[in-house]
């Protein structure tokens, strides 16, 4: 073979490498807005969600509820982040919003997150006027979905070049957030992503932190975004751009560390987290924009969910284990069969949900469709995240920590400068409880609860934890597009 024959493919390869190096990365563009989604109490009947077995009629509005939107584009790829001041948003509602905005375009992706405020309207059908009666106002839901889609259409015309920079740190939770269930594991991670225009002005700031928005308890009758509302207002005032708050791993149960339930405390916590996020020094890095997801089937194992299966079908389609669809007509017959005879493992329905992964510059957002226990995200069984409290209280329920899962944990698997875990992303299935500590009565009502095991009765079932964390691990192992 001649030297000339050898050099031609080599030259072609060198030219290709040179062309690739000369091709600029797809520029990141962004636009942001917020849409008022506060129910009109004069025309829309709603029930406050989040506490007890029935809803509470709101008496007024303390502060507006918003859909906060950040629209991103790199080349043809477009991703919308929508943060809702709501308790939750089911996968069917997410898909409705996707269809209304995307209109069949495969280039448009949607990442929806509910902050989980416990003083917003029932959007899950679990807090109506009576036990088992949905509190969802479908006209209200249709109205806010339409307004969000309209806002996304408008934002498409307002996209402009931005630079993305991020930072990741820790925030001491003392006085801000505590763990109400042993083992004491509080996720202190605080993530921030800043998007700035070419003029140096802020377009949007995205903040990721973990704690239930329930400073205002069951006695409250006013609509409020709770501490996330105060957090976003503070960031917007100080940065000049929009703010999107993404709640993290709040299972376990991570709840506000307050001595009194009032709006001053919500303001205090929101302001403290906002100031800590603004104080982080951000750096640019990472790669453009990408979005991936994995659909997963999860069995409905929670007996109470099976008794009120009609509420679950308001936000999910039912399937057999082999992915054959079950008509929603069968929700009530299945519930009655479960009530009188019990549903065997073979006859239990399954629902489809979604685990997602979003990369924006230096930040990687893992979207989990549930309230993840912090132990699954960061471990902490050795006491490193107990912040001065005993990992297991001597007088409390026993916990077999020897059987606790070993790492690597979810956050270990997120290989990015700014790792973020986002709970209640695109769906809401209740708590993801580690299998070693899942304890529940076998009665139809799952009552009386075992002391210290409230979360199990508000989880779709023990199998969901392994299924969803497995889907997350697979997504995180895939090479980035």
Q: How far apart are the first and last CA of the chain?
A: 38
Chain centroid to Cα 432, Å, comes to: 12
Angstrom CA distances, 187 to 149, 295, 411, 472, stand at 34, 27, 11, 18
What was the pLDDT predicted at 480? 75
Burial 139-168 (b: 16+ CB within 10 A, else e): ebbeebbeebbebbeebeeebeebbbbbbb
Helices H / strands E in the chain, number of each: 11, 21
**Domain ranges for the chain:** 161-481
Give the model's pLDDT for residue 82.
98
**Cβ–Cβ under 8 Å, residues 462 and 439:** no
Answer yes or no: are the C-beta atoms of 264 and 89 closer than 8 Å: no
Please report the pLDDT score of residue 26 as a whole number. 80
Peptide bond before residue 3 is cis, with ω within 30 degrees of 0 = no
At residue 286, the pLDDT reads 80
pLDDT by 10s per residue, the chain, length 481:
333 333 443 333 333 333 333 334 589 999 999 999 999 999 999 999 999 999 999 999 999 999 999 999 999 999 999 999 999 999 999 999 999 999 999 999 999 999 999 999 999 999 999 998 999 999 999 999 999 999 999 999 999 999 999 999 999 999 999 999 999 999 999 999 999 999 999 999 999 999 999 999 999 999 999 999 999 999 999 999 999 999 999 999 999 999 999 999 999 999 999 999 999 999 998 878 999 999 999 999 999 999 999 989 999 999 999 999 999 999 999 999 999 999 999 999 999 999 999 999 999 999 999 999 999 999 999 999 999 999 999 999 999 999 999 999 999 999 999 999 999 999 999 999 999 999 999 999 999 999 999 999 999 999 999 999 999 999 999 887 7
- With H, G, I as helix, E, B as strand and everything else as coil, classify residue 183: coil
Specify the 3-state DSSP secondary structure of 83.
Answer: strand
Question: Does residue 171 contact residue 80 with C-beta atoms inside 8 Å?
Answer: no
Please enumerate in sequence order all residues whose Cβ is within 8 A of that of 188, keeping only pairs 6 or more positions apart, or say none.
170, 171, 172, 173, 385, 387
* Local structure of 425: helix, strand or coil: strand
> What is d(CA 352, CA 467) in angstroms, rounded to the nearest whole number?
11
Rounded CA separation 323/310 (Å): 19
| DSSP helix, strand, coil percent of the chain (3-state; round to 5) | 30, 25, 45
DSSP string across 87-99: S---HHHHHHHHH
Residue 25 is predicted with a pLDDT of: 54
Per-residue model confidence (pLDDT) at position 299: 98
The reported pLDDT for the residue numbered 16 is: 36
Output the six-digit token pair for 237: 């005032």
Residue recorded with tokens 């902050």 = 115
């Amino acid at each position: 073979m001649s030297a000339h024959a050898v050099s031609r493919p080599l030259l072609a390869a060198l030219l290709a490498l040179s062309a690739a190096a000369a091709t600029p990365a797809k520029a990141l563009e962004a636009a942001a807005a917020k849409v008022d989604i506060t129910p009109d109490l004069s025309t829309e009947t709603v029930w406050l969600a989040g506490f007890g077995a029935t809803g509470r009629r709101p008496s007024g509005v303390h502060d507006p509820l918003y859909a906060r939107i950040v629209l991103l584009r790199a080349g043809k790829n477009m991703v919308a982040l929508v943060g809702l001041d709501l308790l939750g948003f089911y996968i069917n509602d997410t898909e409705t919003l996707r269809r209304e905005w995307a209109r069949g375009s495969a280039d448009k992706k949607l990442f929806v997150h509910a902050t989980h405020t416990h003083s917003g309207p029932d959007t899950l059908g679990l807090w109506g006027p009576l036990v088992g009666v949905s509190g969802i106002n479908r006209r209200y839901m249709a109205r806010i979905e339409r307004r969000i889609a309209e806002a996304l259409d408008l934002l498409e015309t307002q996209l402009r070049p931005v630079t993305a920079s991020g930072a990741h740190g820790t925030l001491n939770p003392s006085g801000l957030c505590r763990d109400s269930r042993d083992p004491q594991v509080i996720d202190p991670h605080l993530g921030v992503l800043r998007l700035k225009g070419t003029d140096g002005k802020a377009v949007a700031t995205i903040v990721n932190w973990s704690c239930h928005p329930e400073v205002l308890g069951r006695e409250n009758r006013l609509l409020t975004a709770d501490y996330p509302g105060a957090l976003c207002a503070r960031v917007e005032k100080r940065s000049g751009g929009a703010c999107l708050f993404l709640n993290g791993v709040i299972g376990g149960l991570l709840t506000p560390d307050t001595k009194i339930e009032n709006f001053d405390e919500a303001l205090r916590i929101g302001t403290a987290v906002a100031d800590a996020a603004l104080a982080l020094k951000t750096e640019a890095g990472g790669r453009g924009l990408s979005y991936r997801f994995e659909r997963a089937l999860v069995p409905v194992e929670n007996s109470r969910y099976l008794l009120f299966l009609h509420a679950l079908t308001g936000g999910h389609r039912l399937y057999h284990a082999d992915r054959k669809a079950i008509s929603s007509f069968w929700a009530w017959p299945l519930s009655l069969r479960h009530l009188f005879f019990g549903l065997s493992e073979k006859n239990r329905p399954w629902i489809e949900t979604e685990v997602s992964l979003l990369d924006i510059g230096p930040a990687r957002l893992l979207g989990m469709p549930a309230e993840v226990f912090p132990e699954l995200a960061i471990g902490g069984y050795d006491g490193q995240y107990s912040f001065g409290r005993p990992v297991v209280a001597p007088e409390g329920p026993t916990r077999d920590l020897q059987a606790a899962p070993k790492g690597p944990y979810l956050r270990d698997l997120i290989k990015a400068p700014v790792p973020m875990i986002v709970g209640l992303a695109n769906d809401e299935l209740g708590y993801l409880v580690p299998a070693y500590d899942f304890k529940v009565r076998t009665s139809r009502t799952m009552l009386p609860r075992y002391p210290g095991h409230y979360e199990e009765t508000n989880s779709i079932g023990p199998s969901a934890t392994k299924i969803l964390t497995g889907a997350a691990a697979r997504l995180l192992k895939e090479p980035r597009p």
